[in-house]
Amino acid sequence: MIRRALDGLYFASGVLAACFMLAIFGLMLALSGGREFGINVPSGDDFTAWSMVAMSFLGLAHTFKSGDMIRVGLLLERLTGRRRQAMEIFALVVSILFIAFFAKNAIQLTWDSYRFDDLSQGVIAVPLWIPQTGFALGITILLIAMVDELVRVCRGLRPTYEKEPPASPDELVERIASGGGA
């Protein structure tokens, strides 16, 4: 039950990121196309920037759990067994500490913007806590995903972000061609 809820959270976060990507596309079309017809989109640049931040951060957990986040595993790839598990746990704990720090500060920033009724400086005055929510929510969901992986690795299971090695050279080429990497 918890597994389904967490996987649903990561998927929903990825879907929200995709929605913000579509919003960026629509805004960019409106901004570019509007110039040709003398139509101005008030605060269009602001909305585009906020959508880009929300897209980036809301997509982190889904990307991490899918194994598509860039990792430097030069040391981990050379280890096996308990030593690899210990190093994987160490890497996850350090990552969790950093992400927890950023999540705490993102939530604090959003809360302070809400408490002080902070408004954007653009043509359309938008309460800043609204666009900051995507940032705070995305990084918090990434923190949850990392803790989820830490629990999984501590139980002796293979991390979900670690992809199976390619079975053949053709599969390796296919992964690289599809953008998934090795």
Looking at per-residue pLDDT, the higher value among 15 and 169 belongs to: 15
CA distance 41 to 94: 43
Q: What's this model's pTM, rounded to 2 decimal places?
A: 0.86
Closest CA to 11 of 70, 64, 69, 71: 64
Is residue 181 one of the residues assigned to a domain? no
Is residue 42 one of the residues assigned to a domain? yes
Mean pLDDT of 105-132: 95
Mean pLDDT of 33-62: 92
Domain that holds residue 52: 2-70+78-159
Domains contained in the chain, number: 1
Residue 28 clears pLDDT 70, i.e. is over it: yes
Is residue 154 one of the residues assigned to a domain? yes
Is residue 167 one of the residues assigned to a domain? no
Cα-based distances in Å from 63 to 1, 17, 57 = 22, 11, 10
Is residue 133 one of the residues assigned to a domain? yes
Is residue 88 one of the residues assigned to a domain? yes
Of the pLDDT bands very low, low, confident and very high (cuts 50, 70, 90), residue 69 is confident
Count the neighbouring beta carbons within 10 Å of the beta carbon of residue 145.
Answer: 25
Is residue 58 one of the residues assigned to a domain? yes
- Looking at every residue in the chain, the average pLDDT score rounds to 90
Can you give the length of the chain in residues? 182
Percent of residues, the chain, with pLDDT higher than 70: 96
Helix (H) or strand (E) holding 54: helix 44-58
Percent of residues, the chain, with pLDDT higher than 90: 64
Closest CA to 110 of 79, 81, 132, 142: 132
Is residue 112 one of the residues assigned to a domain? yes
